[in-house]
Structure 1
Amino acid sequence: MTLSTRLSDRLAAHGLQANKGLGQHFLLDLNVTRKIARLSGAQAGELVIEVGPGPGGLTQALLETEARVYAIERDARFLPLLVELGDAFPGRLTVLHADALKVQETEIEGSDGARIVSNLPYNVGTPLLVKWLTGPFRPRSLTLMFQKEVASRIVAEPGAPDYGRLAVLAAALTHRKLVLEAPARAFTPPPRVDSAVVHLTPRPDAVAGSRLDALQKVTAAAFGQRRKMLRAGLKALGGEALCQAAGVDPAARPETVDLDGFLAIADALLTKA
């Protein structure tokens, strides 16, 4: 089998189908995967970490940029396909058979400054993003495909229906942009929802340390009861007094409070402690 063979034919030759239990939907259109690779900014010689490569459609597009790819795949069925792909790009594809949620990216050789580019499995997309946003690994950028609903939650602004904890954390740590939308028909098998790609780059003034811990605690409490006023949602942390100390209206709803407001509440919580 040559690399020129269509990805769908390669899958068929190996008798492979998507596993619904793992949230797999294959992106086989190389025109789309090459566009994602371009949007990621991947350059020759750079290391790109990809989660859930599956049959390797996006992997191939990333390798075509002359980047080095470290692919993390949980489903052992795809390892032979990825080995074939690696043979076509000697020395530039490393495949790890593992659960990405358990992988320590900082232990990957050369990972400092690596990019993350992935068509994420639907069932682990949000946990992986939170892991990358709040953990010790600091990628150069993240270019990630999610369900469109999740992508909207990441880039949402205050007052928008999708604005919530994920948007606040992403805004505190990165510059966010929705860069591509992909209809369900672009995937095999087609999911029931459309998808979208979000590109995130770390902020030079990203929140860190105890301030990040406090922000996570405040947003978890506030959006855990998003229909209630802040004074009620934050009652266990100080409620009205905490909001007043931060200069934030205790009667405000969480979805109307911007990043600066939540940071002020986090800082007030630290001062209180």
Structure 2
Amino acid sequence: MTDLPSLRETLDAHGLLARKSFGQHFLLDLNVTRKIVRLAGPFEGRPVIEVGPGPGGLTRALLESDAGQVVLVEKDARFAPLLSELDDGSGRLTIVEGDALKVREAELVQGPAHLVSNLPYNVGTPLLIKWLTGPWTPHALTLMFQKEVAERIVARPGEDDYGRLAVIAQATAQARIVMHLPAAAFTPPPKVASAVVHLIPRADRPAPELLKRLERVTAAAFGQRRKMLRSSLKPLGGAALCEAAGVDADARAETVDVPGFMRLARALKS
């Protein structure tokens, strides 16, 4: 990796600029990408999937690490030739051109795998929900989001950012913010700051059917978050559902903790 031209030189050589339609903001400082990879590791030879590698700043750091197979999922075909330049012929690097929302991760790697990505801003939340609630469970996730999204993931009951995303993320994983980055760290700089969230899926992650119920309950509760649960959850059973779950029907969604929402999901009839 040390013999390669800088990321900025590589972008210039290929005549590439970030595309706003893809939510692209590049991390070109290798000191930053190496720190993110250190926070994500150790990998101990396990495979790593990176979504939206762009010019390959995180990719270079991953290839310097103790990761095993490094699989890149890139929707923007312009970057394929640039990323191919990182392949040393060992078979360790795999480049997949496709939409990360549609790929099947279980077909890309074998065994427990990490996800390490500077996610495109426009698909960060749906990708996280896919990985936390879908059939394939990663070993760990270290992901860059807009700061406001990162704060919604780790928010606690009673906080302004606490909502549906926090409940689903914390019901399925342990989540914490491990790094903050200013907009100036990116090229081009976005209008907001960013943060890296590290998530470890829970061993007792709810079964798929229960997760579907949790999504229904949180959608209803936070869809009218200023109303009491007896009103916001009325289509799902209202006060009777709350009573069955042992949750105060006069409470508002923003004050109910994750275990409380899990009880509501269990009490909800399929």
Could you say which TM-score interval applies, normalised by the shorter chain? over 0.9
Q: Distance in 2 between the 1:229 and 1:170 partners?
A: 23
Q: Distance in 2 between the 1:144 and 1:212 partners?
A: 22
- 2:47/2:109 contact within 8 Å kept: no
1:55 paired with 2:55, answer yes
1:11 paired with 2:34, answer no
- 1:70/1:94 contact within 8 Å kept: yes
Q: Distance in 2 between the 1:32 and 1:233 partners?
A: 44
TM superposition shift of 1:42? 4.0
- In the TM superposition, what are the counterparts of 1:236-247 in structure 2 within 5 Å? 236-247=235-246
Q: Report what 1:145 is aligned to.
A: 144
1:125 paired with 2:129, answer no
Q: Identity percentage over the alignment?
A: 65
Q: Give structure 1 regions of 4+ aligned residues with deviation exceeding 6 angstroms.
A: none
Q: Distance in 2 between the 1:267 and 1:100 partners?
A: 31
Q: Report what 2:93 is aligned to.
A: 93
Q: Residue by residue, what CA displacement relative to the aligned partner does 1:20-58 show, whole Å, maximum 9, x if unpaired? A: 010000001101100110111142522000000000000
- 2:43/2:114 contact within 8 Å kept: no
- 1:42/1:115 contact within 8 Å kept: no
Q: Which amino acid is the alignment partner of residue 15 of structure 1?
A: G
Q: Which amino acid is the alignment partner of residue 17 of structure 2?
A: Q
- 2:158/2:254 contact within 8 Å kept: yes
Q: Report what 2:134 is aligned to.
A: 135
1:261 paired with 2:260, answer yes
- 2:225/2:254 contact within 8 Å kept: yes
SS of the aligned residue for 1:102 comes to coil
Which consecutive residues of structure 2, in runs of 5 or more, have no partner in the other structure?
none
SS of the aligned residue for 2:268 comes to helix
Q: Which amino acid is the alignment partner of residue 75 of structure 2?
A: R
TM-score scaled by length of structure 1: 0.95
Q: Report what 2:229 is aligned to.
A: 230
- 1:3/1:85 contact within 8 Å kept: no
Report the aligned-residue RMSD.
1.4
Q: Distance in 2 between the 1:223 and 1:109 partners?
A: 36
1:79 paired with 2:80, answer yes
Q: Report what 2:170 is aligned to.
A: 171
Q: Report what 1:108 is aligned to.
A: 108
Q: Distance in 1 between the 2:202 and 2:99 partners?
A: 28
- 2:141/2:199 contact within 8 Å kept: yes
Q: Distance in 1 between the 2:209 and 2:189 partners?
A: 42
Q: Distance in 2 between the 1:27 and 1:206 partners?
A: 33
| Number of aligned positions between the proteins | 269
TM superposition shift of 1:264? 1.2
- 1:44/1:65 contact within 8 Å kept: no
Q: Residue by residue, what CA displacement relative to the aligned partner does 1:217-257 show, whole Å, maximum 9, x if unpaired? A: 11111111112111111110001111112111111110100
SS of the aligned residue for 1:101 comes to coil
Which consecutive residues of structure 1, in runs of 5 or more, have no partner in the other structure?
none
Q: Distance in 1 between the 2:208 and 2:194 partners?
A: 33
TM superposition shift of 1:4? 3.0
- 1:50/1:72 contact within 8 Å kept: yes
Q: Residue by residue, what CA displacement relative to the aligned partner does 1:178-232 show, whole Å, maximum 9, x if unpaired? A: 0000100000000000000000001122111322221111111111111211111
